[in-house]
Amino acid sequence: MKILIIHGPNMNLLGRRDKSIYGNYTLKDIDNLLNDKAKEYGMELYIFQSNLEGEIIDRLHKSIEEDIKGIVINPGAYTHYSIAIRDAIEILDIPIIEVHISNIYAREDFRKQSVIAPVCTGQITGLGIYSYVLALNAIYMMI
């Protein structure tokens, strides 16, 4: 069971970003946690991080050829304005969970709107790195 994890912009700097919002974990910590959970579920993870909108879109398109069964995506700041990523997600007919480490609804007004959520199966926000784990669990339960 192939699952794609997409980390969007600035996720590569976790551990250096505002720790009161993002905690002390690094992206490698998240990936290790997800890989451990994926083994329990019999999943094969494809993990991708990019700061570039076009690369994220290309990776979503490529998932069609790879027989990906579900996607966990943290679009980062693209959450709030990337119609192009939204359109790429809308094409896919698999479970897709949008995740955020912080609670985007408890932050600045411009972060409270997600253009991505309406085309996703669900959204998990504000539970730290466990937002990712819960999303992986949800996909496991849906497949």
Choosing from 22, 78, 132, 140, the catalytic residue is 22
Choosing from 41, 46, 61, 100, the catalytic residue is 100
Taking 3-state DSSP, the helix, strand and coil percentages for the chain, each rounded to the nearest 5, stand at 50, 20, 30
Instruction: For residue 78, indicate whether it is catalytic.
Output: no
Instruction: For residue 22, indicate whether it is catalytic.
Output: yes
Which among 130, 118, 126 is positioned nearest to 87, based on CA atoms? 118
Q: How many residues are present in the chain?
A: 143
Half-sphere CA count of 91, side-chain side, radius 13 A: 13
Question: Which are the catalytic amino acids?
Answer: 22, 100
